[in-house]
Amino acid sequence: MAVFEYRGIQIATGKAIKGYRDAENARALRQLLRRDGVLLTAANEENEQKEAKDRKNLDPLAVFRRPRTADVAVMTRQLATLVRAGVPLLESIAALTDQVENEQLIKVLRSVRENLNEGTSFAKSLEQHPKVFPSLYVNMVAAGEASGTLEAVLERLADFMEGQTRLRGKVTGALAYPVLMAVVGALMVSVMMVGVVPKVTSVFDNLGQTLPWYTRLLIFVSDMVAGYWWLFIGLATLAVVLFQRWKKTPEGRLRWDTFRLKAPIFGRLTLLVAVARFSRTLSTLLASGVQLLQAMEIGRHVLENARLQAVITEAIGSIRGGQSIAEPLKRSGAFPPMVTHMIAIGEKSGQLEAMLENVSRAYEADVETRVQTLTSLLEPMMIVLLGGVVGFIALAILMPLIQMNQLVQ
């Protein structure tokens, strides 16, 4: 049975519709749609659409149409509910394709369903779509299939993905306002330096007196910005390009990620976010039946920090050599002492998953508190900084005018 992407018109209302439908061939599809009150106008078999898909992949907006983590989390939650209710997996996925709104995710589910029809396991079907279902997702599903606890694993996955989405949203949302203020402030100051300051300071040319140092500094900066803005933009672009190339090298990435962990103010926050993600990932994988070394390898990738990844790689080698998890983490000095201490207790007591869950909860709460504190401090600091810049510009312009007025009197 093939999957068709179709377009049609509802006979009753005349409304144009589109969607996907399984059918033996185009003629059978036309009959099925006619039975549903739809007049078929165009149909394309999915496996014949490779060129069209390739063209769509060239669309610069295609990245915005990719399924978000939140979309996959909702789909996973719905799938867990259906499976727990006793609905066969194949029928559950078929039901989800009618509820999901993201077109890319619909196509992925169609492909997964087709692979299941051919006898492929659920985990192997998901593995063919790594951009939608990462290795964490696939390995947990494989463990659930092997242990017969797929519905429980899917619920853990949904909880995990929703938690990660909330954590990322809190950090992003809290920093959005300060970033917006910085951008607006930079644009405002640039407009003043290029458009306003030169016109106002032009009256000082015929004063015949020495201007204050801050006025001369303002005029110099204004002339530089107005006359060489293109050079500044070019140098900034070149610096960003060179920095990105350097950061992609192994040594550059390691140095940059090490600096990120030690940076003032934001370094501790970066470490807490990474540790919280790693702890929750490892806890979720172990609770789902994934082997420790495989769980550590998957957890290493979610860190997204070369320095911490190197520590986990060393830890994996030590575990293979018979050592505990906590010892190499403690020896590296990269992980906070509380983390290594609780992991050591979890290993000794046989409750490693629970300890990792406690670590993730504690650090996620710490991240939220620190982000709120940082945001509350950044906003007044940004206001004071912008106020200081505007005040300096006003002082540099007004003081010579006041002096000129005193001389006239």
Cα 4 from Cα 47, distance rounded (Å)? 9
pLDDT tens for 118-165 read 788 888 888 888 888 888 788 888 878 877 778 888 888 888 888 878
Cα 230 from Cα 226, distance rounded (Å)? 9
Copy the structure tokens of residue 37.
């009150």
Angle among Cα 346, 350, 352 to the nearest 5 degrees reads: 40
Q: Which of 19-23, 129-133, 199-203, 349-353 is predicted with the least confidence, judged by mean pLDDT?
A: 19-23
8 A C-beta contact, residue 336 and residue 362? no
Cα 200 from Cα 193, distance rounded (Å)? 10
**Which of 38-52, 58-72, 199-213, 373-387 is predicted most confidently?**
373-387
Amino acid making up residue 355: M
Is pLDDT of 194 > 70? yes
**Model pLDDT, residue 140:** 81
Q: What is the mean pLDDT of residues 14-18?
A: 77
Q: What is the mean pLDDT of residues 86-90?
A: 87
Q: What is the mean pLDDT of residues 215-236?
A: 86
Among candidate residues 318, 315, 289, 317, the one with its CA nearest the CA of residue 303: 315
Per-residue confidence at 65, pLDDT binned at 50, 70, 90?
A: low
Task: Please state the pTM of the whole predicted model.
Answer: 0.66
Copy the structure tokens of residue 131.
């951009």
Cβ atoms < 10 Å from Cβ of 115: 17
Task: Give one word for 8, left, alpha or beta, with left for phi > 0 and alpha for psi -120 to 50.
Answer: beta
Cα 85 from Cα 22, distance rounded (Å)? 24
Cβ atoms < 10 Å from Cβ of 145: 16
On average, the pLDDT of the chain sits at 81
pLDDT tens for 286-310 read 887 888 888 888 888 778 788 988 8
**φ, ψ at 37 (rounded to 5°):** 80, 30
Task: Give one word for 260, left, alpha or beta, with left for phi > 0 and alpha for psi -120 to 50.
Answer: alpha
Among candidate residues 41, 19, 20, the one with its CA nearest the CA of residue 30: 41
b (16+ CB within 10 A) / e for 313-349: eebbebbeeeebbbbbbbebebbbeebbebbbebeee
For residues 409 and 30, the model is more confident at 30
